[in-house]
A = this chain, B = another copy of it.
């Protein structure tokens, strides 16, 4: 069963169990962080959040710990947490690392290929994405969903739990995640061309995996991530686009 579409403003964030206070705290604080409710480097203390989130310190503590672990907060040496700030260079590095890992996923998928089920699924995702025919304000959320499913499927086919964890870790930085750099044409004018290139990458990935061309699969997987890098470089000069990047306020543009 395919995952339900999660096309909210803060999409591309992994869903978590909502039935515990800790999970709600995690989601709530993450949302605050990504919406720029705190300044970069600001110290986060627990008591204000108690008032803001309406729960006791215990779940808030746990949530802060988790946020520190996924890299959105810094755990100070002595104690306490501060809002992590990212130099632009770190964002670019994160995208590069995602490329390496997705390339590895594609390579392993090619090396370990067995059966047609995975390939068929990938081809269907490709077809669906091509059927969208452009990134309008209405279709781009759907595209992000399909795109996410496509890459998840490759990850499945790679069959490496460790790789899955590593990629999850990288993608937990919102602006490095695969769908963070997708904008409708109305925001970034040249999205159409970018989309075409992305779709070509997808086709090439499927073909390479199908033919067990593992080196080609790895190369294309890497190159595909560089696309996000290029989109980011364009978006940097576009305030509208930059504002839409989740967690964009955590990026320190003045620091290379």
A interface vs B, CB < 8 Å? 62, 65-66, 69, 71, 90, 93-94, 96-97, 100-101, 104, 159-163, 165-166, 169-170, 173, 176
Q: How many whole Å from A206's CB to the nearest CB in chain B?
A: 22
Partner of A162, one of B66, B94, B162: B94
Contact, CB under 8 Å: A93 / B170: no
> Which residues on the B side are within 8 Å of A159 (C-beta)?
93
5 nearest A-B residue pairs (beta carbon): A93-B160, A94-B162, A97-B162, A93-B162, A100-B104
Given A96-B160, A100-B104, output 16 extra A-B contacts at Cβ < 8 Å: A62-B62, A65-B65, A69-B69, A90-B161, A93-B160, A93-B161, A97-B104, A97-B166, A100-B100, A100-B101, A101-B166, A162-B173, A162-B176, A166-B166, A166-B170, A169-B169
Contact, CB under 8 Å: A163 / B65: no
Contact, CB under 8 Å: A165 / B169: yes
Sample (10) of A-B pairs whose CB atoms are under 8 Å apart = A65-B65, A66-B69, A93-B159, A93-B162, A94-B162, A97-B160, A100-B101, A101-B166, A162-B173, A166-B169
A97-B104, A100-B104 given; A162·B166 CB < 8 A: no
A100-B100, A100-B104, A104-B100 given; A93·B169 CB < 8 A: no
A69-B69, A97-B104, A100-B104 given; A162·B90 CB < 8 A: yes
> Which residues on the B side are within 8 Å of A104 (C-beta)?
97, 100
Question: For A65, A66, A100, which residue has the most chain B Cβ atoms within 10 angstroms?
Answer: A100
The answer for the CA separation of A170 and B166 in the assembled complex, in Å, is: 8
> Which residues on the B side are within 8 Å of A173 (C-beta)?
162
> Which residues on the B side are within 8 Å of A162 (C-beta)?
90, 93-94, 97, 170, 173, 176
The answer for the CA separation of A170 and B173 in the assembled complex, in Å, is: 18
